[in-house]
Structure 1
């Protein structure tokens, strides 16, 4: 009901300015009591505004716009809006301390051109702490953090913070006071990453710059630990533990999240199985793990490390299809004829035991007949060749339907002990 009223309020105020709340309520045929909550929500969201003399109108009608700030290296910025208004120019001294990427409320300046409006930040809408990653510059009198991001401000440190850092260190500084017209930003150091130039510090600096943190909060970590050691149950699940199921991944992969299987049925058709780790069994909606995963969005693979979406108890253990371990999965079982045509399909919650942890390189050697007898899954060569033949048929059918192949070779970068790239292979 409140959503309907909010929609009607926006529709009415798009066309008219109302002098009082009572007048708006009358136009909507809504009582003052029912109008109060949705009206306040629209005001809090800065979709509506009330002028000093009590007039109610769309915020944009009164010259207020919200959106993300896009700051340029020289300090000026633009507001990108979704209301069809041209990008609004924000002068260097008109940002009110707002930083690149933050959501802000901007008021248009009077007398500006409609095709090239100018404005001033009147409120920063983004929540949460603001952090800057950079290098410490320190002398006898002052210390400040020179940002890695040219769009961010220099952050001056208090005398207490100054004593804890060294010249040339890479750090994360949290703002306590934003930069304004002629006043610099001030902050405190929340993390020392290491000396600039030391092995791995550059990668860590980039990770922190984009808010990527390996560790997890106490509540999230506790929820993950409590999941370890719980007994497995077959209730409501298809038991596939005796099937020949295995994973194929890179040699250095740790989170093995999918497995495959293939067998020939009595009618001569194939039963192809794809088995995905059932993360939803452990990550419950609204829980600490769910909130953290929503915040991170994905695991991030950097040149020398992985910043996981979920704690290692899940990513490398419970939800990793390690060999000879019972694992909860979601399985898709597809019956295919000799030509690769789909005859039937079944989706099921399941329990599997992966029999092998194969690697791409070893499997390719087996398919080419180049693997030695010491290969632990040399006996699987026949099945792998069957899989390869079926895969080629399915791939050909996909291309016949107009598929485009974006399967590009992934470069492999080798680092020395200092973290410096010394070789790029494919």
Structure 2
């Protein structure tokens, strides 16, 4: 008798059985019954009791367990994983394409684990239900063929293998429009896997040289524009302090106060002045825009600032945390206008100790808008300013900066002087050049003074036992530290380090020892990766990297929300406005800390990813050319090399001539079967083979592979 039970039993006993063998040798059915067998097989497949591979052979499936997790696409959507977070680790379960069942990247899904009983007994997962759709939109390019409906080509390559059909559009769409679309259904037939989308917005056109940057920003849900209610509220904020009360503020308007920033900076949230006192001590004034005066808690501007968390700095513009009326207007410490500030005035002795700190609400009038470049010319080339008082003040500032920096270095401050690529764009947004950015003395001077002010404010809040939002940084984990030291051993770099005595000072010594042996930036970057990420936390554990026992962010409230929180704490508790009690403030800090730690990391990733798109554009014009590069990272599938301009490319193992290479356990070497090696830090000549301006990935091949051709 031909039924589902009989067919399933035969398949269970004969894993990998072919259709022909099943029909003719095991079931011995006449050919007229083949259609009935086919129906039974389809029924068993629909019930997930059997599976059919590409060779038309069948295996039974056994259910293992149900799971709930996050679905992640991989390899241009050819397969995916369900990630399940446990207390100690994240488990990943492989999902073949036919088991997506309507899932897209980031979905929270219910799934089940099953075993294919084929002798190898491989475990797979299938999506049973999409519980929550985290990502509802997708960007792509609309192509209108000569005949037929428009075609949607997704920009995100994770969806390259998806069947996407435009069901409708809320806006007119033209050929080569870059658009934002929304998923409008889940496929009912998981094998066909058709996803319907509706165009919601036209972003730009592919003729726009910044189109893929704009598409990425849109797909990441970065809020480029402020809601009407925020802008309306901002319009009610005055353009000057002329009619504002000033009785509780210290007046610094007669002091020689200046801002020092980049050439293109438009929002100035910090200003300084320095005096050398008759007793040999120094007075450092750090004056920060009083954003908290204008942005009150739970206002529309405040809620939007909290949502954004930080300004995002792209290669051609800034996506600000605050509306321009504040960021470039009343809150910006522009020259020769009165502005409200919060000031930290510190007395520092010639050894670098802070002897006294006075925190106050204040008024300043910045006398000069200086640039890093111009101050560096003064320092390096002796190019003086016309104002002798300004020259004298800068001399005192330079002296104090050296003192403060030496004090920090004596404490164990680890100075990673990492050089990074800097994009130079043409007016139309195309890449003109990539140059290495380097910090001069003036940049370090401002950094020294801002760090000292942040430390002083954190110390004062701690001393007063007030709640605070600290900037914390844990010491490196033992696992990461052991890995780094083992890598150094593999590279034959010997350093003296006591694993049982991990302090900023001992850490600093390792960095300095490495520089003495081999002054390579890739080693500093490798060392930097052993560090934990700095976070925001209401509980103070210190800042390991800065060798600071007390540290917070106070100096950039125009672009960072945590600084605004510190200003509010100062206003409410230190300066006595007493809008809220300490307990109420303390209760709100854990959530704000977590949210802003997350938004900071998201902003960093967005800045990196968009830069990568333009780096790839630069290298697209160099395909076929040979360049010298250094091996800075080794992975199982190849090696990443860094060029002179500090951008990187991947040399895949398939692009390393005809030899087969494998990475060693520590990923310090790629070793061929004939024992030929490529090691971290080696310099190689490579040919650029591909540069993808949509994904930002750059590929290269070894230049000495004569039998390889560029695809």
Alignment partner of 1:132 is 2:154: no
CA distance in 2, matches of 1:92, 1:349: 61
Q: What is the DSSP-based 3-state SS (H/G/I as helix, E as strand, rest coil) of the residue aligned with 1:383? A: helix
Shift of 1:317: 1.2
Q: Deviations over 1:41-65 (max 9, x none)?
A: xxxxxxxxxxxxxxxxxxxxx8443
CA distance in 2, matches of 1:108, 1:239: 68
Shift of 1:339: 2.2
CA contact (8 A) 1:155 1:173 kept: no
CA contact (8 A) 1:144 1:154 kept: no
Hey, what does 2:213 align to over in structure 1? 203
Shift of 1:242: 2.3
CA contact (8 A) 1:366 1:378 kept: no
The 1:154/1:205 distance shift into structure 2, 3 A limit, reads farther
Q: Deviations over 1:179-210 (max 9, x none)?
A: 56224322333332322142322322222232
Hey, what does 1:69 align to over in structure 2? 71
* TM superposition score normalised by structure 1: 0.75
CA contact (8 A) 1:325 1:354 kept: yes
Q: 1:174-213, aligned counterparts within 5 Å?
A: 174-178=182-186, 181=190, 182-213=192-223
Hey, what does 1:106 align to over in structure 2? 110
Q: Deviations over 1:83-110 (max 9, x none)?
A: 24622333334444333234x1323336
CA contact (8 A) 1:170 1:193 kept: yes
Hey, what does 1:16 align to over in structure 2? none
- Segments of structure 1 that go 5 or more residues without pairing to the other structure are 1-61
The 1:158/1:254 distance shift into structure 2, 3 A limit, reads same
CA contact (8 A) 2:136 2:183 kept: yes
The 1:293/1:119 distance shift into structure 2, 3 A limit, reads farther
CA distance in 2, matches of 1:169, 1:123: 30
Q: 1:405-416, aligned counterparts within 5 Å?
A: 405-416=415-426
CA contact (8 A) 2:341 2:364 kept: yes
Hey, what does 1:150 align to over in structure 2? 157
Q: 1:345-356, aligned counterparts within 5 Å?
A: 345-356=357-368
The 1:90/1:282 distance shift into structure 2, 3 A limit, reads farther
Q: Which structure dedicates a bigger proportion of its chain to helix?
A: 2
1:97 aligned residue (102, 106, 112): 102
Larger Rg: 2
- Segments of structure 2 that go 5 or more residues without pairing to the other structure are 1-64, 438-711
The 1:80/1:138 distance shift into structure 2, 3 A limit, reads same
Shift of 1:154: 5.7
**CA-atom RMSD in angstroms:** 2.9
The 1:395/1:202 distance shift into structure 2, 3 A limit, reads same
Hey, what does 1:399 align to over in structure 2? 409
Hey, what does 1:6 align to over in structure 2? none
CA distance in 1, matches of 2:386, 2:173: 52
The 1:101/1:320 distance shift into structure 2, 3 A limit, reads farther
Q: Deviations over 1:126-181 (max 9, x none)?
A: 56x722112112223211321111113564323556x8212212122223234562
